[in-house]
Amino acid sequence: MTAIDAGETTDSPVVSFDRHPDGYRHWKLTVDGPVAWLELDVDEAGGLVPGYELKLNSYDLGVDIELYDAVQRLRFEYPAVRSVVLTSAKENVFCAGANIRMLAGSPHEWKVNFCKFTNETRNGMEDATENSGQTYLAAVNGACAGGGYELALACEHIVLVDDNSSTVALPEVPLLGVLPGTGGLTRVVDKRRVRKDRADVFATRSDGVKGRTAVEWRLVDELAPRREFAETVRRRARELAERSSRPADAKGIELVPLERVESADGVAYRHVSARYDRAAGTVELTVRGPREDAPDGPAGAHEQGAANWLLAVTRELDDAILRLRTNETELGTWVLRTEGDPARVLAHERVMLDNAAGDWLCNEIVHYYKRTLKRLDVTSRSLIALIEPGSCFAGVLLELALAADRQYMLDGPPIEDEDSDERAAIVLSGANFGPFPMGNGLSRLESRFYREDEHLAWLRRERDRELTPGEAVELGLVTGAPDDIDWEDEIRLVVEGRRSLSPDALTGMEASHRFTGPETMETKIFGRLSAWQNWIFNRPNAAGPDGALRRYGTGRKAVFDRKRV
């Protein structure tokens, strides 16, 4: 199988997440001073796989990969952009949502991964509004349904054309027998604060809501007559831009194409590699620390651009996670390793964290690493971190181990050199106490030691020094610390034990354990919605031969099993 880009099709596609605005088939990105315009103009024949047409600005994974690329480029390449207008280039239609034929014909894991990625992309838009000073505005210039309205919901402000016909709608329940797949139900009540009875009416009306009712119910923020629509949107975008603290004269950095070498046995980047063991069902995911000294403050980071270690390693890790999730669904256990000098990792980290408040690029890199760790948190794979001599699980890279379901630390010399004096160590730093929160709003340490304030205070006192395997066990930072005699057998048994268990049960168990504590809009979307959608996508009422997804558009009503379960 070979990697495919937007528009190419194959029966068994290996999806690439590489995109560039010059090659977009479905979006047009225009920058006009402090305002950027993202116009959706879906190529009907541009589906990622054959079997459906992307009519009425409906989208599939390929459309959303382009959107993700655009959101990333706006943050890094256009720091002077302060507001982003999301609209449609087509007349009288904003977006019809996820393509129904695509959903009906896709295997279960494709549907679920598609929903997860689109959720993450919309969360990224909200993160840009909250943390980067790039506020998103939805200019809904026509019919807006399902995932189209969920796209608008990810924006801070929604302007709906007032033409007596354009509506916003979440018709999935009445028409398709499934749920809105990208957070619509949650955002309506949690973000837009729509009353629950009105939300119930809205989510069961296939025709949607328009005009004054949409404003009164808080489904949109304002209306504009068609003749005044464009000017209203421009004015509102300028107003939103004026509120931003984003630097007006900053020069962006180019997100140059990633370099990687792919084979049947894995993928290798400069700082990240993934090696596959298909017989064992595992991926060995290794992250390498920096080879060079840290840049000389923010100016040095700007000079390095996309070559900056933390930015480069984040881009590579992000790409690897996406490729593995989408293309290697049977490799269910990821073994996380690091290699390098912990002191250099911490030096690079300090440049970013110490300057994030005052430098736009340092801020963007910190938040990008945060989002990539969140992507790892919600990945339905078993994560096992192995901490060995030569590892550099320190600060920002220790977050990878803390994201894992289990952590094992070798208490002894390297397996390949029993005469060596080198020993494994981990280092806690400021990076582990807040800058990279999970979706629940807590750090990974706060999630690990939920409501154990005294223990967290103890951990803070142990910052910035190497912790031995015995100390790591005492502090509760690792699952176990086998010695060099037992190491290989113990790790083998852990991996084999994981392989023997039900992947479905593991997915549910891991998701339940990872997100301790309070619920947020984000955890509801990835927890409640993903769990329900997983189940609903498998039920005959939706996906069976007589289900709503299959019969949509045929003129035949779905046949429902009426038992509530």
Q: How confident is the model at residue 171 (pLDDT cuts 50, 70, 90)?
A: very high
Model pLDDT, residue 365: 98
The answer to pTM > 0.85 is yes
**In the numeric block, which tokens belong to residue 368?**
């990008």
Same-domain status, 399 and 494? yes
Q: Is the pLDDT of residue 12 over 60?
A: no
Same-domain status, 201 and 341? no
Residues 546-565 have pLDDT tens digits of 988 888 888 899 898 887 87
Rounded CA-CA distance 548/160 in Å is 29
Domain boundary (497, 514, 531) is at 514
Classify residue 451 by burial, with Cβ atoms within 10 Å: 0-12, 13-18, 19+.
exposed
Rounded CA-CA distance 238/257 in Å is 32
Q: Is the pLDDT of residue 11 over 90?
A: no
Q: Is the pLDDT of residue 461 over 50?
A: yes
* CATH number of the CATH domain containing 216: 3.90.226.10
Q: Is the pLDDT of residue 8 over 60?
A: no
Model pLDDT, residue 264: 93
Domain boundary (469, 499, 514) is at 514
Listed in sequence order, the residues at least 6 apart from 370 whose beta carbon sits closer than 8 Å to its beta carbon are 435, 436, 437
Model pLDDT, residue 5: 34
Assigned domain for 563 exists: no
Same-domain status, 218 and 266? no
Model pLDDT, residue 231: 97
Share above pLDDT 90 across residues of the chain, in percent, rounded to a whole number: 84
Assigned domain for 381 exists: yes
Rounded CA-CA distance 175/98 in Å is 13
Residues 504-526 have pLDDT tens digits of 899 889 988 998 999 999 999 88
Interval 459-487 mean pLDDT? 97
Interval 419-435 mean pLDDT? 95
What's the distance, CA 385 to chain centroid? 21
**Domain, as residue range, for 346:** 261-514
Assigned domain for 542 exists: no
Q: Is the pLDDT of residue 6 over 60?
A: no
Rounded CA-CA distance 472/487 in Å is 16
Q: How confident is the model at residue 416 (pLDDT cuts 50, 70, 90)?
A: confident
Query: Taking a C-beta distance cutoff of 8 angstroms, is the pair 81, 240 a contact?
Result: no
Q: CA 308, 399, 423: angle at the middle one, nearest 5?
A: 95
Same-domain status, 70 and 110? yes
Listed in sequence order, the residues at least 6 apart from 295 whose beta carbon sits closer than 8 Å to its beta carbon are 301, 303, 304, 308, 348, 351
Assigned domain for 196 exists: yes
Q: Is the pLDDT of residue 1 over 70?
A: no
Q: Determine the 3-state secondary structure of 432 from DSSP.
A: helix
Q: How far is CA 224 from CA 51, 112, 143, 159, 236, in A?
A: 38, 36, 14, 7, 11
Number of domains in the chain: 2
Encoded amino acid at 477, one letter: L
Assigned domain for 114 exists: yes
Model pLDDT, residue 537: 82
Assigned domain for 543 exists: no
Model pLDDT, residue 538: 83
Q: Is the pLDDT of residue 193 over 80?
A: yes
**In the numeric block, which tokens belong to residue 33?**
């001073």
Interval 462-469 mean pLDDT? 98
Rounded CA-CA distance 12/140 in Å is 35
Query: Taking a C-beta distance cutoff of 8 angstroms, is the pair 198, 217 a contact?
Result: yes
Query: Taking a C-beta distance cutoff of 8 angstroms, is the pair 115, 182 a contact?
Result: yes
Name the strand (E) or helix (H) holding 561: none
Rounded CA-CA distance 146/139 in Å is 16
Interval 209-236 mean pLDDT? 97
Model pLDDT, residue 4: 30
In whole numbers, what is the pLDDT of the chain averaged over residues?
Answer: 94
Listed in sequence order, the residues at least 6 apart from 268 whose beta carbon sits closer than 8 Å to its beta carbon are 260, 261, 274
Q: Is the pLDDT of residue 252 over 70?
A: yes
* String of DSSP letters for 174-228: IIISS--SSSHHHIIIIIS---HHHHHHHHT-TT-B-HHHHHHTTSSSEEEEHHH
Instruction: Please count the other Cβ atoms lying within 10 Å of the Cβ belonging to residue 384.
Output: 22
Listed in sequence order, the residues at least 6 apart from 406 whose beta carbon sits closer than 8 Å to its beta carbon are 383, 384, 385, 479, 494
Same-domain status, 192 and 267? no
Q: How confident is the model at residue 532 (pLDDT cuts 50, 70, 90)?
A: confident
Residues 66-115 have pLDDT tens digits of 999 999 999 999 999 999 999 999 999 999 999 999 988 899 889 889 99
User: Which of residues 1 and 25 earns the better pLDDT score?
Assistant: 25
Rounded CA-CA distance 121/99 in Å is 17
Rounded CA-CA distance 118/440 in Å is 19
Same-domain status, 223 and 306? no
Q: How confident is the model at residue 127 (pLDDT cuts 50, 70, 90)?
A: very high
Q: Is the pLDDT of residue 9 over 50?
A: no
Assigned domain for 338 exists: yes
Same-domain status, 409 and 356? yes
Assigned domain for 250 exists: no
Closest of 97, 225, 229 to residue 168, by C-alpha:
97
Classify residue 216 by burial, with Cβ atoms within 10 Å: 0-12, 13-18, 19+.
exposed
Same-domain status, 487 and 395? yes
Q: At what angle do helices 342-355 and 297-304 cross, to 10 degrees?
A: 100
